[in-house]
């Protein structure tokens, strides 16, 4: 479900925006910000039926960043970005920069073929396609191993659904000649990489992240490392910024993948001031006092560790921005180093490099350097240069040099019947295979954010922020036309738009969309046959 299975894990019918501030300034008209104040705790469970009741918690508790803050850096942002449907990200900046500068970048997402593709999947299809059009290498995969192990789907069912997902993806504009399609079960490279990554993860970690226990199938665990390999697959040839568009329920996978990418690296680059190692908070403290001492006042090597220690000891505790433990460990380290000169340097720590790679790194470092047992200190290159050098040496010496993968997160859609979108309640969602007339009918009978009476609606305006029909306009029906989406919103909250007509218009647009989409699906049949992906699983009996 690429995370987006709104069908299983959608937001529980919570209003689209901040529960009630309809007087927000007009720009917010297109935005779907906020999320209702938390009724329950956020739990991000890729296989559960977690719901997101408060998107703000995802920022506060999980460290997902707000997409808005980087919107300006994205060239020709997609309407889902402009309208806040894509609300969060992890580390998307390198991808935006690469797109901006026509440098290599990749996009990848995966789909568990457990049912028919629906309008929630369309969000992810669109995200992949948009990145492909912006110049990224695009990958879409069928998570058939995961569907088989985590959902118990048969290979026949998987094949049928996989085909249908792929037809919709192609119909919406994915270029299979330029992009890559694969299924997990027949991609040997992915499986080899999965095995390799598995050596960097262990059961306790899976327990902590996913709540696995002694009853969890081994193949379910294997599907996790497979997904890790999927996520890093675009970087097998060479490292590049890669974005994984998914729903926030997939964030645990993204975090693990980012960790594993890091653990696979040959070298760790950090900053140091003397031969000893510093923890990040310790480093901040030393950095601050190093600056305060005004190193320029000292002749060449005259600034010694003891001087920094003295300065720290003379400073009243209240002026030191660090806890007692940090302070005391810093003092110990500085005093032990005694008369060693304090000199800022960039450190390359040998994490899992081969001897050849370590030696190659030493040779490649320009300027003054000092070589130790398992690290090298360089005095004339800065952190950014060092990162680049470390990656280059790693890649030239048989390592992957992975960049931590980035992600973007979209909101789950509200069910048409008000609650969650649920595959067991057909009226709550619209499948991309629904008969256009059925699509029309579903929209016509959808819940709205309208008032009791037309009169009241004219007077107070509708609640577009709480209306699944408005959501349909913003997420899909208005397409790239912001002005149209904004007009619907303004007319609704301004009381000029009444639900009957509004739904009629939406229903009509939905009918046209479905008819058009299904026609395109038929047209891309041949394209799919020619595409480089096995449509029939060799595991079928
Ligand atoms: N686990 C995803 C889901 O439940 C499917 C998936 C497999 C995936 N591999 C992936 C999603 C890689 C994104 C990237 O839908
Ligand atoms: Fe929703 Fe349209 Fe009614 Fe407004 S007018 S509440 S957008 S159906």
In terms of domains, do 391 and 409 share one?
Answer: no
In terms of domains, do 117 and 225 share one?
Answer: yes
* CATH code at position 225: 3.40.50.620
In terms of domains, do 139 and 205 share one?
Answer: yes
Let me know if residue 199 belongs to a domain: yes
Mutate which of 489, 490, 495, 497 for ligand 2? The one with the most ligand atoms within 8 Å of its CB, which is 497
Does residue 528 line the site of ligand 1, with CB under 6 A?
Answer: no
327-366: per-residue pLDDT in tens?
Answer: 999 999 999 999 999 999 999 999 999 999 999 999 999 9
Let me know if residue 374 belongs to a domain: yes
Residue 131 makes CB contacts below 8 A (sequence gap 6+) with 95, 99, 105, 107, 138, 243, 245
Let me know if residue 244 belongs to a domain: yes
Q: Whose CA is nearest to atom 12 of ligand 1?
A: 110
In terms of domains, do 73 and 91 share one?
Answer: yes
**How confident is the model over 384-402, as a mean pLDDT?**
97
Let me know if residue 256 belongs to a domain: yes
pLDDT at 51: 61
Which atom of ligand 2 has the smallest separation from the CA of 446?
Answer: 8
Pocket, ligand 2, Cβ cutoff 6 A: 448-450, 462-464, 467, 469-470, 492, 497, 499, 502-503
CA distance 237 to 163: 28
Range of the domain at 451: 426-518
CA distance 27 to 485: 11
In terms of domains, do 152 and 256 share one?
Answer: yes
Does residue 109 line the site of ligand 1, with CB under 6 A?
Answer: yes
HEC readout, 453-510: CHHHHHHHCCCHHHCHHHHHHHHHHCCCCHHHHHHHHHHHHCCCCCHHHHHHHHHHHH
416-474: per-residue pLDDT in tens?
Answer: 998 888 777 888 899 999 999 999 999 999 999 999 999 999 999 999 999 999 999 99
In terms of domains, do 92 and 211 share one?
Answer: yes
- For residue 160, pLDDT beyond 80: yes
Q: Whose CA is nearest to atom 1 of ligand 1?
A: 2
In terms of domains, do 289 and 362 share one?
Answer: yes
How far, in Å, are 63, 80, 125 from residue 84 at the CA level?
A: 18, 6, 17
* CATH code at position 514: 1.10.240.10
Let me know if residue 312 belongs to a domain: yes
In terms of domains, do 164 and 208 share one?
Answer: yes
Is 101 within 8 Å of 224 (Cβ atoms)?
no
- For residue 50, pLDDT beyond 90: no
Q: What is the pTM of this model?
A: 0.87
In terms of domains, do 382 and 470 share one?
Answer: no
Q: In total, how many domains does the chain have?
A: 3
Which atom of ligand 1 has the smallest separation from the CA of 46?
Answer: 4
Mutate which of 125, 141, 145, 158 for ligand 1? The one with the most ligand atoms within 8 Å of its CB, which is 141
In terms of domains, do 370 and 484 share one?
Answer: no
Is 53 within 8 Å of 503 (Cβ atoms)?
no
Let me know if residue 30 belongs to a domain: no
Is 49 within 8 Å of 102 (Cβ atoms)?
no
In terms of domains, do 123 and 180 share one?
Answer: yes
Give 126 Cα–ligand 2 centroid separation in angstroms: 25
**How confident is the model over 188-204, as a mean pLDDT?**
96
Tokens 């030696």 label which residue?
Answer: 359
How far, in Å, are 4, 75, 125, 415 from residue 7 at the CA level?
A: 8, 31, 16, 8
């Amino acid at each position: 479900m690429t995370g987006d299975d709104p069908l299983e894990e959608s937001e529980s019918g919570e209003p689209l925006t901040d529960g009630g501030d309809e007087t927000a300034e007009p720009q917010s008209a297109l935005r779907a910000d906020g999320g209702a104040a938390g009724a329950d705790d956020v739990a991000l469970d890729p296989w559960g039926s977690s719901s997101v009741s408060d998107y703000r918690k995802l920022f506060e508790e999980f460290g997902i960043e707000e997409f808005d803050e980087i919107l300006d850096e994205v060239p020709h942002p997609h309407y889902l970005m402009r309208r806040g449907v894509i609300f969060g990200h992890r580390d998307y900046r390198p991808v935006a920069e690469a797109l901006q500068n026509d440098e290599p970048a990749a996009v990848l997402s995966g789909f568990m073929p457990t049912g028919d593709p629906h309008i929630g999947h369309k969000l992810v299809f669109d995200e992949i396609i948009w990145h492909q059009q912006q110049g990224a290498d695009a990958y879409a995969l069928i998570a058939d191993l995961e569907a088989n192990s985590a959902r118990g789907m048969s290979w026949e069912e998987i094949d049928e659904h996989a085909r249908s997902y792929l037809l919709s993806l192609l119909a919406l504009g994915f270029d299979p000649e330029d992009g890559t399609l694969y299924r997990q079960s027949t991609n040997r490279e992915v499986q080899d990489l999965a095995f390799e990554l598995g050596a960097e993860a262990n059961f306790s970690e899976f327990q902590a992240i996913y709540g696995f226990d002694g009853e969890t199938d081994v193949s379910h665990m294997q599907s996790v490392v497979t997904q890790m390999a999927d996520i890093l697959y675009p970087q097998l040839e060479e490292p590049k910024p890669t974005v994984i568009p998914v729903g926030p329920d997939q964030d645990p996978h993204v975090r693990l993948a980012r960790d594993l990418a890091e653990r696979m690296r040959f070298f760790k680059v950090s900053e140091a001031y003397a031969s000893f190692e510093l923890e990040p908070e310790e480093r901040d403290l030393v950095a601050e006092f190093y600056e305060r001492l005004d190193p320029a006042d000292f002749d060449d090597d005259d600034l010694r560790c003891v001087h920094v220690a003295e300065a720290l000891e003379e400073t009243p505790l209240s002026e030191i921005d660090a806890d007692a433990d940090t302070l005391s460990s810093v003092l110990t380290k500085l005093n032990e180093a005694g008369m060693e000169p304090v000199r800022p340097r960039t450190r390359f720590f040998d994490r899992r490099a081969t001897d050849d790679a370590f030696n190659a790194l030493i040779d490649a470092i320009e300027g003054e350097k000092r070589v130790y047992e398992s690290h090298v200190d360089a005095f004339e290159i800065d952190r950014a240069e060092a990162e680049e050098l470390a990656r280059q040496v790693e890649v030239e010496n048989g390592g992957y040099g992975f960049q931590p993968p980035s992600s973007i997160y979209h909101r789950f859609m509200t069910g048409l019947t008000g609650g969650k979108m649920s595959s067991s309640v057909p009226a709550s969602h619209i499948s991309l295979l629904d008969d256009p007339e059925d699509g029309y009918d579903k929209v016509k009978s959808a819940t709205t954010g309208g008032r009791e009476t037309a009169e009241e609606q004219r007077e107070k305006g509708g609640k577009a922020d709480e209306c699944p029909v408005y959501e349909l306009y913003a997420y899909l029906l208005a397409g790239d036309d912001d002005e149209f989406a904004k007009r619907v919103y303004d007319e609704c909250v301004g009381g000029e738009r009444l639900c009957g007509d509004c739904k009629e218009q939406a229903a009509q647009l939905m009918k046209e969309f479905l008819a058009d989409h299904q026609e395109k699906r038929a047209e891309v049949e041949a394209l799919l046959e020619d595409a480089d992906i096995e449509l029939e699983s060799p595991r079928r009996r």
